[in-house]
Amino acid sequence: MLKVQFIRTPKGEALAVLPRAEYEALAKAADRYDRAQLRAVERRIKDGREKEYPIAVVEAVADGVPPIRAWREDRDLSAAAVAEAAGISAGYLSQIETGRRTGTLRVLRAIAEVIGVTVTELTAPFEGD
């Protein structure tokens, strides 16, 4: 049973104070839980039930970078190189990346092939995972 004492700071913030041994036991349990969760995710990835994404792409998309641009930059590809390889203009790619245009399915497939991902990963990378 935890021996917790609750105190308030002068600014009104509530804090919980507990003996060091209890804190260390909670930290150890949390670490075991984190490792168990990581093993579960690794199993789902290995079994094909979950996808693995580069952290740079995840962070960029979370920060509001359009997925196409996040993937392109992760692959170290210039917009000009992707546009040329996909058979479109750099301006058109820029408009797709910024959301001013959606791009046809044919164009999105071409961009995805150049970057090395699926169309879904370009347009809605973390939905349904």
What angle do the packed helices 79-86 and 105-115 form, to 10 degrees? Answer: 120
2 Cβ contact partners less than 8 Å away, ≥ 6 residues apart: 18, 22
CA nearest to 126, candidates 22, 55, 74: 55
Give me the pLDDT at residue 129, please.
46
**pLDDT above 90: percentage of residues in the chain:** 53
Task: Give residue 1's pLDDT.
Answer: 65
The pTM of the full predicted model, rounded to 2 decimals, is: 0.63
Q: Give CA–CA dist 91/95, Å, rounded.
A: 6
Name the average pLDDT for the chain: 88
Please compute the mean of the pLDDT values over residues 23-51 and round it to a whole number: 84
As a whole number of angstroms, the distance between CA 85 and CA 69 comes to 15
3-state secondary structure the chain: CCCCEEEECCCCCEEEECCHHHHHHHHHHHHHHHHHHHHHHHHHHHCCCCCCCCHHHHHHHHCCCCHHHHHHHHCCCCHHHHHHHHCCCHHHHHHHHHCCCCCCHHHHHHHHHHHCCCHHHHHCCCCCC
pLDDT tens string 38-87: 888 788 778 877 777 888 999 999 898 989 999 999 999 999 999 999 99
Q: What is the pLDDT of residue 12?
A: 93
Pick from 76, 75, 71, 93: nearest CA to 84 = 93
